Structure 1
Amino acid sequence: MDNLPLLTVGITLLTCVLAVIGVHVYSSGKAQREALVERMSHTGQITTVGRNRRFRGLDRRLRQTGIGKRIERKIAVTGLDLTPGEYFVYVVAGLLGLYFIIGAIFASFFGVLAALAGLWGGNAFLNWQRVKRTEAFINQLPELTRVLANATQAGLAMRTALVMASEELDDPAGEELRRVADQLAVGHTLDDALGELADRLPSRELVVLVTTLVLSSRAGGQVVTSLRNLTETLEERKETRREVKTVLSQIQVTALAVPMIGLGFLLLINNMTPGALDKMTGATIGQVGTIVAFALYAVGYLAIRRMSRIQV
């Protein structure tokens, strides 16, 4: 291969990135394990074991900028144990790895396109994590409403019921409810605390639950009956969402497979005629054609995902 040195540098850089990510995952897992051991061996409240933060200087300077504040807000709703500085360094390292590896396999121009796609992918990753966390929370809503209904039926106040639910439920529901309990402890109203929860994890199911709890706290009424009925409804919606996701899985795989086939053809052409992609992207018309082709693939992918999106 003509670009063997460049490929070697790219693979080395990717190995370093994976090593850093591995160390981060290991430290996060170790912190979670220590927190679990502390929780099981101690009868007090749950304690959070921290970890040594990396890139503190960069993180401190980045938080003072507009982009750093936006990154911090996005990370806050994903539940990731990352600082804006760590996220920025990981994204930059990933972009460099994409540029070197894709540029060595295909052509230098494709490395630039891959880096630009990776820049969009970094933001898409945070959005995906937020959606993933929201879906996990939605799946816990039936259990949450059941706990609240049992607690209120036993005569506990709604604030106390929320605190008890935060202790009994796993994350992400437990973590989010602990935030609500902490806000209530420092004087926030129930409306404001639950409203911020709905803003962090936007979903129709959560809006219905928050509305039910707020109206019950304001006007009174049969909150236990409302929560029981809501539990049954959420269970049915959970099963429906699972069935819809199963039916649409083939369409989503197809949407991803079509652009992958195009990349496979490019790799096949380059292997059959070494240097063909370099010659193609060496001219302006070749670069424009490549950009248009990838844009059409992106439009097709987004169109398929849009048409297969069903709101339940």
Structure 2
Amino acid sequence: MELHNLVQLTTGVTLLTCALAVLGVHTYARGRAQRADLVERLSHTGQTTATGRQRRFGDLDRRLRRTRAGKKLELKLAATGLDVTPGEFFVYMMAGVAGLWLVGQAALAPFFGPIAGLLGIWAALQFLNWQRQKRIERFIGQLPEMARILANATQAGLALRTAIGMAAEELEAPAGEELAKVTNQLAVGHSMEDALGELADRLPSRELVVLVTTLVLSNRAGGQVVGALRNLTETLEERKETRREIRTQLSQVNMTSYAVPVLGIGSLFLMNGVKDGALDRMTGSPIGQACVIIAFGLYAVGFVLIRRMSRIDV
């Protein structure tokens, strides 16, 4: 009798254990699914990434994001569309600076090591600006089509939130990706004004500011947005053609702005190649070092002035 009770108890405990194991596996699978869904949403709001790759330098990245410069860098990286965290970009930039420092010191003279490192920092920041500007230009090129889709959707009776989600599905990157972020921000409780405002901060341009202002005011006042979007579409098409013509006309001037500092740096290699050790002797005295610094400063001023003179706001 006691043996029979022990068998029943053992069987009951085994069944209970199996039931708890099944329940635990089910709970674990559901938790993973919820976490994946949350990561997907947060990736579109810019708070995390859904690429699945292992992020490097996590501690440095968290510390960097707490600083004002880190927040600006994070916003700029989000505008470029690059799959790089602020911590990773900082480490890669420092590695490039160290490499340029050694190359400049070995190929020219020890005095040029720090200058080459500073040029590396400038080049990295310029690369980010170039990537961001290129993405902004692509986004501006898609604005007329985006305004047309929003106008058609709202004219069909759809809500503005639904129209934005439809435009995110139909448009290619970068407009589709940016509107998908706006859609996911609205899904997690952000207001229309905040979500569109963050979009304008990520991709600053006059055209986008006008579109965002039109959508926000129409959504807040409950006005008719179709007519405004129709007129805005025509205006954006005209501005798109004007910007294209200006960019074509100024392409030679922009190339000249980059050619000026390149010629200056090339002349240093030419001098050192003609007479080995000439740069060592030139930078061996305070006067020579001051002359080199002044020359680099003048090249930088020339670059900035040419860029400023060729900038035309439309």
The answer to whether residue 36 in structure 2 is matched with residue 71 in structure 1 is: no
| Structure 1 segment 43-122 matched on structure 2, within 5 A | 48-65=50-67, 67-122=69-124
Cα 1:70/1:208, change in 2 over 3 Å: closer
User: What residue is the counterpart of 1:245 in the other structure?
Assistant: 247
Deviation of 1:155 (Å): 1.2
Pick from 221, 226, 229 the counterpart of residue 228 of structure 2. 226
Deviation of 1:69 (Å): 4.0
SS at match of 1:80: coil
| Structure 1 segment 127-276 matched on structure 2, within 5 A | 127-276=129-278
5+ residue gaps, structure 1, are 1-46
Cα shift readout 1:196-231 (whole Å, capped 9, x = no counterpart): 211222111011111211222233444222212211
* Amino acid across the alignment from 1:310: I
Deviation of 1:48 (Å): 4.3
SS at match of 1:51: coil
Deviation of 1:146 (Å): 1.1
* Amino acid across the alignment from 1:153: Q
TM-score (norm 2): 0.79
Q: Distance in 2 between matches of 1:185 and 1:289?
A: 59
Q: Distance in 2 between matches of 1:277 and 1:81?
A: 41
SS at match of 1:282: coil
Deviation of 1:284 (Å): 0.8
- Bigger shift: 54-63 or 180-189? 54-63
* Amino acid across the alignment from 1:80: L
Q: Which has the larger radius of gyration?
A: 2
CA contact (8 A) 2:76 2:202 kept: no
Q: Distance in 2 between matches of 1:195 and 1:71?
A: 18
Q: Distance in 1 between matches of 2:234 and 2:124?
A: 38
CA contact (8 A) 2:164 2:183 kept: yes
SS at match of 2:111: helix
5+ residue gaps, structure 2, are 1-48
Aligned sequence identity (%): 67
- Bigger shift: 214-223 or 149-158? 214-223
Deviation of 1:61 (Å): 4.3
* Amino acid across the alignment from 1:161: A
Deviation of 1:70 (Å): 4.0
Deviation of 1:185 (Å): 1.5
User: What residue is the counterpart of 1:309 in the other structure?
Assistant: 311
Q: Distance in 1 between matches of 2:72 and 2:214?
A: 32
- Bigger shift: 211-220 or 283-292? 211-220
Q: Distance in 1 between matches of 2:250 and 2:72?
A: 33
Q: Distance in 1 between matches of 2:199 and 2:53?
A: 26
Q: Distance in 2 between matches of 1:228 and 1:242?
A: 22
Cα 1:218/1:59, change in 2 over 3 Å: closer
Cα shift readout 1:165-224 (whole Å, capped 9, x = no counterpart): 111111211121112111211222222221221122211101111121122223344422
CA contact (8 A) 2:138 2:174 kept: yes
Q: Distance in 1 between matches of 2:273 and 2:251?
A: 33
SS at match of 2:194: helix
Cα shift readout 1:105-159 (whole Å, capped 9, x = no counterpart): 2222122201012123333333333222222211110110111111112111111
Cα shift readout 1:38-86 (whole Å, capped 9, x = no counterpart): xxxxxxxxx9442121233433444455544443333233322111221
TM-score (norm 1): 0.79
Cα 1:259/1:124, change in 2 over 3 Å: closer
Q: Distance in 1 between matches of 2:70 and 2:192?
A: 30
* Amino acid across the alignment from 1:307: M
Q: Distance in 2 between matches of 1:66 and 1:225?
A: 41
Alignment coverage as a number of residue pairs: 266
